[in-house]
A and B are shown apart, each in its own frame.
Chain A
Amino acid sequence: MRVTILGAGVAGLTAATELVARGVDVEIVERGPAPGAQSCSWYAGGMLAPECEADLAEPIVVELGREALAWWQKYVPQLIKRNGSIVVSAGRDRNELKRFASRTNQHQMLDQEALLALEPDLGDRFSEALYFEHEAHMDPRAALVGLTEYLKERGALFHYGAMLEDVVPGDKIIDARGLAARDCLPQLRGVRGEMLVVKCDDVQLNRPVRLAHPRFPVYIVPRGEGHFMIGATQIESERQGGISAKSMVDLINAAYAVHPAFAEAEIIETGAELRPAFPDNLPRVNWVEDRLHVNGLFRHGYLLSPACARMAADILMRSNNKAEFMDEDHNQWATA
């Protein structure tokens, strides 16, 4: 069987990897010139933090997200940093930390001394924090490149700057084009996310730090060599184009609340993209006409794409092509 995959974002590349690992020939058709800036995957945080997501996401996100770490560990082991994540709140939002703790599992409350031991730069700023010991993170861009290399080594063909019309389609088609697939999936909408990368040598963080915040989840992910990714806004807008001044202020303010030295950081990069989402903000793996769509990963591209890839591969490898685990009428996931 030969499978054509549309889209080389995280949804497309994970599906391709899962199929190649099962001995299927794949080719990937990507409208952009290279893995990267064309997809919202490029601007992700790269956190493999299913437990933290329980704060705002539905239980199925946590459940499927728990598959992610082992999957990424299998394909890009050199990129995975398994040292947990930290959640703090500003003193005046202390109840936000309590709320976060009550809605999530597998964490421990750190007192100041324990926090100092893990993150010395936070210990003198926060008297308590939540520690999710079993979570991990990785550089999402390196992960996309890593999967691309894995695929190329195993003979997968990549057509960059191309559309489906430009190639001879395989026996099956997986459509993982994100928001561009709204021509087939009219329920998709774009949810704008904005992020920054800053360089700051005066702050050392070993693991992602989230700020429990009343309006939107803000996180700071260390990317090495003094670089930090600060993300991400969540705005019900499909505006294209660069980060807004207000969002930049909000993100920098959040970073400043975590450590004042971020005020002196150098801004290396800003990014803004539209996340594809369905009305329930949950992903779908389902057939629309002759294509198997993997879409709607919303904030959870790296967390949920392994589970979606597994389901997509299961469906294609079975003789029965029905997506048995989706109840379209009720927009519900039945357990796979």
Chain B
Amino acid sequence: MISLYGVKISSRLLLGTALYPSPQIMADAVKASGTEIVTVSLRREGVQPGAGASFWRLVEGLGVKVLPNTAGCHTVKEAVTTAKMAREVFGTNWIKLELIADNDTLCPDVVALVEAARILSAEGFKVFPYCTEDLSVAERLLRAGCEVLMPWGAPIGTGLGLNNPYGLKAMRAHFDDVPLIIDAGLGAPSHAALAMEMGFDAVLLNTAVARAGDPELMANAFAKALEAGRLAFDAEPMLPNDMAAPSTPVLGKAVF
């Protein structure tokens, strides 16, 4: 069980709603994943108010909590406007704050991110910032009012997994009481399992499921990997050794 802004969540998977072959397949994948939170882009689908309404109603019909996002925003102003629109459309003050610096890597613009997080938090939003593993940026986001951080695994859509395990490990150790959700870049369930073994609270993904040959099956695979990884974390894995250590002693046996 994790707590995000006071809301108790038992699934450690947050799922995106873009790029599926059809809304029906998206709904099947959401169900198979057991997720309790889906994220939906306002800007990408409907620039004008109401334009994406049909799709948004389908997302609401999934019966899970909706975390609107500001995907595609490049400036503080755009992100703040989109967040406000999302609050109207979905009736939630949760917002996944995405501010993109560069189109080739889709890496977060951390400077603008902190500024937008400050403005939105002051207006009562519960901000989920898509950030890097930079500790000083994370510190500033917390000071800006964020109570959850979402460091990237790898650039959006790449499927590369956890690109900087050292940095992520340091972040986990440094912010041991802040919910940390790995957001973006995961490609395979093993990446999600690793994130769990490292002690991250949840993962958010989209492309890895939506663009799988069978999204529903892949959603199920991620759910199982997350469960396995979290169980492993709770079970305190053994630490690796440099030398072989036989599980059965050979001393005293008649071995020649």
Contact A190:B22 (CB < 8 A) given known A237-B45, A239-B46: no
Among candidates A99, A102, A103, A238, residue contacting B51 with C-beta atoms closer than 8 Å? A238
Q: Are B52 and A279 in contact (CB under 8 A)?
A: no
**Beta-carbon nearest neighbor of B28 in chain A:** A280
A331 at interface by CB-CB < 8 Å:
yes
B157 at interface by CB-CB < 8 Å:
yes
Q: Are B55 and A214 in contact (CB under 8 A)?
A: no
Per-residue interface assignment for chain A, residues 198 to 241, with 1 indicating a CB less than 8 Å from any chain B CB and 0 otherwise: 00000000000000001100000000000000000001111100
A177 at interface by CB-CB < 8 Å:
no
- Residues of A with C-beta under 8 A to B47: 237, 239, 244
Per-residue interface assignment for chain A, residues 262 to 277, with 1 indicating a CB less than 8 Å from any chain B CB and 0 otherwise: 0000000000000001
Among candidates B21, B46, B48, B50, residue contacting A236 with C-beta atoms closer than 8 Å? B46
- Residues of B with C-beta under 8 A to A244: 47
A58 at interface by CB-CB < 8 Å:
yes
- Residues of B with C-beta under 8 A to A281: 21-24
A residues neighboring B (CB under 8 Å): 56-58, 99, 102-103, 189-190, 214-215, 235-239, 244, 277-282, 331
**Beta-carbon nearest neighbor of A235 in chain B:** B45
- Residues of A with C-beta under 8 A to B53: 238
B170 at interface by CB-CB < 8 Å:
no
**Beta-carbon nearest neighbor of A61 in chain B:** B21
Q: How far is the CB of B243 from chain A (nearest CB, A)?
A: 40
Q: Are B19 and A215 in contact (CB under 8 A)?
A: yes
Among candidates A103, A215, A236, residue contacting B55 with C-beta atoms closer than 8 Å? A236
B9 at interface by CB-CB < 8 Å:
no
B residues neighboring A (CB under 8 Å): 19, 21-25, 27, 44-48, 50-55, 58, 157, 207, 211, 213
Among candidates B23, B45, B46, residue contacting A279 with C-beta atoms closer than 8 Å? B23
Q: How far is the CB of B214 from chain A (nearest CB, A)?
A: 11
Contact A239:B48 (CB < 8 A) given known A103-B213, A189-B58, A214-B157: yes
**Beta-carbon nearest neighbor of A244 in chain B:** B47
Q: How far is the CB of B113 from chain A (nearest CB, A)?
A: 22
Q: Are A237 and B22 in contact (CB under 8 A)?
A: no
Among candidates B21, B23, B25, B52, residue contacting A237 with C-beta atoms closer than 8 Å? B52
- Residues of B with C-beta under 8 A to A239: 46-48, 51
3 tightest Cβ-Cβ pairs between the two chains A and B: A189-B54, A280-B24, A281-B22
The interface centre, meaning the residue of B22, B51, B207 with most chain A CB atoms within 10 A of its CB, is B22
Complex Cα–Cα for A221 and B50 (A): 33
The interface centre, meaning the residue of B19, B24, B27, B213 with most chain A CB atoms within 10 A of its CB, is B24
Q: How far is the CB of A215 from chain B (nearest CB, A)?
A: 7
Contact A57:B21 (CB < 8 A) given known A103-B213, A236-B55: yes
**Beta-carbon nearest neighbor of A215 in chain B:** B19
Contact A282:B52 (CB < 8 A) given known A103-B213, A214-B157, A235-B45: no
**Beta-carbon nearest neighbor of B157 in chain A:** A214
**Beta-carbon nearest neighbor of A189 in chain B:** B54
Q: How far is the CB of B46 from chain A (nearest CB, A)?
A: 4
**Beta-carbon nearest neighbor of A216 in chain B:** B19
- Residues of B with C-beta under 8 A to A190: 54
Among candidates A56, A235, A278, residue contacting B21 with C-beta atoms closer than 8 Å? A56
Q: How far is the CB of A177 from chain B (nearest CB, A)?
A: 17
- Residues of A with C-beta under 8 A to B23: 279-281
Mind listing 8 A-B residue pairs with CB under 8 Å? A237-B46, A237-B47, A238-B54, A239-B47, A239-B51, A279-B22, A279-B27, A281-B24
Q: How far is the CB of B132 from chain A (nearest CB, A)?
A: 22
14 additional A-B pairs beyond A189-B54, A279-B23, A281-B23, beta carbons within 8 Å, are A58-B22, A102-B213, A190-B54, A236-B46, A237-B45, A237-B46, A237-B52, A238-B52, A239-B51, A278-B24, A279-B22, A280-B23, A280-B24, A281-B22
- Residues of A with C-beta under 8 A to B51: 237-239
